[in-house]
Structure 1
Amino acid sequence: MTNILARLGEQQGQTPVNQPRNPEMRQDRALERFQKFSHPKFLGRPNPEVGERWLDTMINIFAVLNYTEDRQVNFVVFQFEGPSRTWWNVIRAKWEREGTAWTWLNFVQEFNEKYLPPIVQEKREDDFIKLRQETLSVSEYETQFTKLSKFAPKLIVTEQRRIRRFVQGLNVEIQEALAAAQINTFTEVLEKA
């Protein structure tokens, strides 16, 4: 019964009455939950595809765990070994010196600068700009759109711009069917498409 209450409280971010309220204990349990996933270590090899896949894996894990941003950063760097650990030590010192917030966005920007060189990021941005549905299903097109959109955030700053760009890449028949529809969210455009 105690274990069930502890799990329920952990899921709701609460500590059961008969459980210790020690923050370090909660941190340890959070780390244990994180480690239960089959997440790879990151060595920092100069292969953009490897870095991109690794980061996507971490993003998916954190989507499930719903951790705070600083905890995500702390746990993700726990996966660094070798050259990536050395790189992170330099970044951590820079953040401390400059007072940079430990946010996921700041981490991803630093990671991408190091492991996805500008030429690769520019290529991904071009791929996003040129993306069209053509022979893809709407679901496959949406997957590619979402994956590549992170390389062109300025093009989808608002929900309406994101919707417009998505619709522009759809096949003409679908665009015409959506023309008269009242669409306010990206979820609505996906459902109607």
Structure 2
Amino acid sequence: MNPPPQQQQLPLPLQSARDQNEAQVGEPVYERFRKQRPLTFEGDTDPLIVEEWRCSLEKIFDFMKLIDKEKVACAVYQMKNNARIWWDIVKRTVHVNTLTWTGSLELLNSKYYNANILDAEMDEFQELKQGNSTVIEYAQKFDQLSRFALGLVATENERKRRFMKGLRSDLAKLVDAGEMGPCTYA
């Protein structure tokens, strides 16, 4: 009987993220998290900054395959200044040891995504025009603000129509005539 063949060890970049995590079991979660260079959050009330912070953390959380308790701890670690003060107040009224990531997002949303701010972002999206911006700058602003107006751009056609509505008229005519670019927004 032949002995079983030995498994070949893949180079680290070719191993799955889960394999890499398992290989680093002895390393504390916060150290592995810090190595990903997560953004900090200082309590800014601009929803775009809050959204960027949240998305950047979730990207790292997915990569590291963290559980809820680890996600909350890592997020709190990245809070500075006003955000940290707010969290210290939250800890007095909420059982943070049992808090899920979804629960912490609900708290964050209630603080930093109040109705007035969301309405202002929606208004800014509805009034967005290219003006003197380049098409790329306009498209980036369109994408950023559209996250707060998903009901207005739920389909590709609605998205394209809104985008075209804000384009400078000389460019919109070229696109409409088929002289520029693809027929989809993306």
Q: Is TM > 0.5 for Structure 1 vs Structure 2?
A: yes
CA distance in 1, matches of 2:85, 2:176: 53
Query: Would you say 1:53 and 2:77 are equivalent positions?
Result: no
Query: Would you say 1:5 and 2:17 are equivalent positions?
Result: no
- The corresponding residue for 2:87 is 84
CA RMSD of aligned residues (A): 4.0
CA distance in 2, matches of 1:91, 1:151: 30
CA distance in 2, matches of 1:77, 1:4: 35
- The corresponding residue for 1:120 is 117
CA distance in 1, matches of 2:71, 2:155: 26
CA distance in 1, matches of 2:156, 2:125: 17
- Against the structure 1 CA distance between its residues 122 and 64, is the aligned structure 2 distance closer, same or farther, given a 3 Å change threshold? same
Unpaired runs of 5+ in structure 2?
Answer: 1-8
- The corresponding residue for 1:159 is 156
- TM-score normalised over the length of structure 1: 0.63
Give the conservation status (yes or no) of the 8 Å contact 1:127–1:148.
yes
Deviation at 1:53, TM superposition (A): 2.4
Give the conservation status (yes or no) of the 8 Å contact 1:162–1:186.
yes
Q: Which amino acid aligns with 2:34?
A: Q
Query: Would you say 1:139 and 2:136 are equivalent positions?
Result: yes
Larger relative contact order (C-alpha < 8 A, sep ≥ 6)? 2
- Against the structure 1 CA distance between its residues 41 and 168, is the aligned structure 2 distance closer, same or farther, given a 3 Å change threshold? closer
- Against the structure 1 CA distance between its residues 28 and 90, is the aligned structure 2 distance closer, same or farther, given a 3 Å change threshold? same
User: Which protein shows a greater Rg?
Assistant: 2
- Against the structure 1 CA distance between its residues 41 and 134, is the aligned structure 2 distance closer, same or farther, given a 3 Å change threshold? closer
Q: Which has the higher helix share?
A: 1
Deviation at 1:131, TM superposition (A): 0.3
Moved more, 83-92 or 161-170: 83-92
Unpaired runs of 5+ in structure 1?
Answer: 97-101, 188-193
CA distance in 2, matches of 1:185, 1:124: 24
CA distance in 1, matches of 2:105, 2:183: 29
Deviation at 1:146, TM superposition (A): 1.4
- The corresponding residue for 2:175 is 178
CA distance in 2, matches of 1:27, 1:168: 52
Moved more, 122-131 or 80-89: 80-89
